[in-house]
């Protein structure tokens, strides 16, 4: 009964508006989704065999591969073997062992961690994530701490 030209026009406006919105969404959504890179099916690495303990000198540190991640393997002066994620907790640089300072050092902003992975100086906000080290038949094995 209220079919005046006014309400008819309103109705048309809504239909048109909703149509434009739906059209925009159907264009924008695929583009946004496209920009987001898909998760790569990474092979889940659980354990890595680094090599014989005898080959690692005391007071040394080196980067080893753990899947796609770098891990720093430290052998202290006492002969302890420890491993941490080599990714600095500050802004993602890769850390290194500094024999002269006796610390794990990040060159990017001069961050320092002690040999237990604790952040002791500079900007790093958190300790390095530890990895589990097991010595089995004289070989060094690395695995993720759960």
List contacts with another protein (CB under 8 A).
35-37, 40, 63-65, 68, 70, 86, 88, 90-96, 106-110, 119, 122-125
- Nearest CA to 146 out of 15, 46, 16, 38 is that of 46
Q: How far is the CB of 32 from another protein (least distance, A)?
A: 10
By the rule CB under 6 A, 111 interacts with ligand FES: yes
Residue placing its CB nearer to ligand FES in the complex, 48 or 61: 61
The CA distance from 7 to 1, in Å, is 11
Q: Which residues contact 86 (CB under 8 A, 6 or more apart)?
A: 63, 69, 70, 71, 72, 94, 95, 128
Residue 66 near residue 56 (C-beta atoms within 8 A): no
By the rule CB under 6 A, 120 interacts with ligand FES: no
Residues between 23 and 52 that touch ligand FES (CB under 6 A): none
Q: How far is the CB of 73 from ligand FES (least distance, A)?
A: 18
Residue placing its CB nearer to another protein in the complex, 7 or 110: 110
The CA distance from 71 to 56, in Å, is 15
The CA distance from 70 to 94, in Å, is 8
Residues engaged in binding ligand FES (CB under 6 A): 88, 90-93, 106, 108-109, 111, 122-124
């Amino acid at each position: 009964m209220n079919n005046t030209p006014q309400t008819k026009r309103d109705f048309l406006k809504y239909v048109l508006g909703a149509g434009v919105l739906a059209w925009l969404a159907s264009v924008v959504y695929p583009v946004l989704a496209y920009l987001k890179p898909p998760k790569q099916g990474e092979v889940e690495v659980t354990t890595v065999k680094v090599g014989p303990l005898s080959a690692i000198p005391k007071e040394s540190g080196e980067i080893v591969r753990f899947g796609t991640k770098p891990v720093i393997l430290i052998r202290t002066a006492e002969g302890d073997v420890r491993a941490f994620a080599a990714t600095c907790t500050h802004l993602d640089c890769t850390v290194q062992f500094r024999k002269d300072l006796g610390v794990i050092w990040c060159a990017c902003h001069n961050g320092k961690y002690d040999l237990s992975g604790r952040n002791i100086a500079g900007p790093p906000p958190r300790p390095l994530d530890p990895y589990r080290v097991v010595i089995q038949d004289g070989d060094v094995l690395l695995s993720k701490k759960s």
